[in-house]
Amino acid sequence: MIRSFKFAFQGLKKLFLNENNAKFHFLAAILVIIAGLFFKVSANEWIFLIFAIGLVFGSEAFNTAVEKLCDKISPQKDPVIGQIKDLSAAGVLIFAIAAVIIGLIIFLPKILESL
């Protein structure tokens, strides 16, 4: 079991060091955490924010795995592989849009109130 955690942490390291989208999501997550601390979000709001961040990171990891597997299986252009990769990327986009909406629901009233 400990080896499994070791492999998982290696995967996290590869994700954040090698994937530009994961780096962008990481920066966005840091900004959300800073905003959460600044605006003193409630425990329930933290739950939603952490869940949204986790879903985006998780979907990005799965998307990266699918893309790498597809590239290994079919290094040449293949329309079906292209559709698979597009669908996988769409999954990340869906979670990212949901995360932005959650962020707007939580932070927009706080931002407007502070103005």
- What local confidence, expressed as pLDDT, does residue 3 receive? 85
**CATH number for the domain including 73?**
1.10.287.3610
Are 25 and 60 in contact, with CB atoms under 8 Å apart? yes
- What local confidence, expressed as pLDDT, does residue 45 receive? 98
Which residues form the domain of 65? Answer: 2-114
Are 14 and 63 in contact, with CB atoms under 8 Å apart? no
- What local confidence, expressed as pLDDT, does residue 28 receive? 97
Distance CA 59, CA 52 (A): 11
- What local confidence, expressed as pLDDT, does residue 2 receive? 85
Tokens found for residue 43: 């425990």
- What local confidence, expressed as pLDDT, does residue 94 receive? 98
- Could you say which residues of the chain have pLDDT below 70? none
Distance CA 11, CA 59 (A): 13
Report pLDDT digits (tens) over 27-42.
999 999 999 999 999 9
Total domains in the chain come to: 1
Distance CA 113, CA 103 (A): 15
Distance CA 74, CA 64 (A): 15
